[in-house]
Amino acid sequence: MNLPEKLNFLFRTPIVTRKRIVLALAVAVAADALQVLLLPIAWTFAQSAVDVVAMILIMWLLGFHLLLLPTFVVEFVPVIDMLPTWTACTAAVIAFRKREQRQPAPPTSPPTIEI
């Protein structure tokens, strides 16, 4: 397996099932709640560890989406990190993934026109 195939496998988009949705939302809600609970010890970088774990788990459950990157960066801003950004981002990614799955597959070959 060459490098492009390995990267393609790592960033695959899994089929969004009910179980994946529930687990991803549970991870997001837990991450947001833990960040509020860890506020008194914010200087220990525990909140940053929660963000890294949340990003990895959500990517594993829903696949990589560009919307996850700004959410990950925003979590390092001192006041904004108390907002439920992981929950909102996860809900948006789920909506985008469901819409992608509903679209019909493109035709495999172009239609032929006989003259």
What pLDDT score was predicted for residue 29?
96
Per-residue pLDDT of the chain (115 residues; tens, 9 = 90+): 677 776 666 667 788 889 999 999 999 999 999 988 888 776 678 888 899 999 999 999 998 888 888 998 888 887 787 889 999 999 999 999 998 888 776 666 666 676 6
What pLDDT score was predicted for residue 81?
78
Split into its structural domains, the chain has a count of: 1
Instruction: Judge if pTM exceeds 0.85.
Output: no
Angle between the N-to-C axes of helices 18-37 and 46-62, in degrees from 0 to 180, rounded to the nearest 10: 170
Is the residue at 108 inside a domain? no
Is the residue at 27 inside a domain? yes
Range of the domain at 28: 14-97
Is the residue at 55 inside a domain? yes
Is the residue at 4 inside a domain? no
What pLDDT score was predicted for residue 78?
78
**What is the rounded end-to-end Cα distance, in angstroms, of the chain?**
45
Is the residue at 112 inside a domain? no
Spell out the alpha helix ranges (H) of 38-106.
Answer: 46-62, 68-74, 85-102
Residue pair 53/46 in contact (Cβ under 8 Å)? The answer is no
Q: How far is CA 83 from CA 29, 33, 42, 64, 89, in A?
A: 11, 10, 15, 22, 11
Is the residue at 109 inside a domain? no
Is the residue at 103 inside a domain? no
Is the residue at 33 inside a domain? yes
Sign of the Cα pseudo-torsion (21, 62, 69, 43, in order): positive
What pLDDT score was predicted for residue 112?
66
